[in-house]
Amino acid sequence: MVDLYVYYKVRDEHAAALLPRVRALQARVTGPGAARLLRRPGNKNGLQTWMEVYPGVPETFAAELEAALDGAGLDGLVEGPRRVEVFMEFPACA
């Protein structure tokens, strides 16, 4: 299992329209309450930074999430690419 982090930029004027779509996407791919949506405080040049957090997902989850984006309605509301980072825990000591 891994933790998946997806971050991207959102124009201030698109935030209200994007928020329910991202939450619906998260509920569809993980179930209600399983994922988190974070926002960096403030903005820079009218852009906000958002981060989706998917803790404890299978290593194949990034591909599943990418496939779910097709019907999510995020096109035109996200500025630039969605960047995906994968992290895993260190193995426990024996």
On the 0-12 / 13-18 / 19+ scale of CB atoms within 10 A, 4 is buried
pLDDT digits over 62-82, tens only? Answer: 999 999 999 899 999 999 999
pLDDT digits over 3-43, tens only? Answer: 999 999 999 999 999 999 999 999 999 987 899 999 999 99
What pTM was estimated for this model as a whole? 0.91
Contact criterion met (CB below 8 Å) for 8 and 50: yes
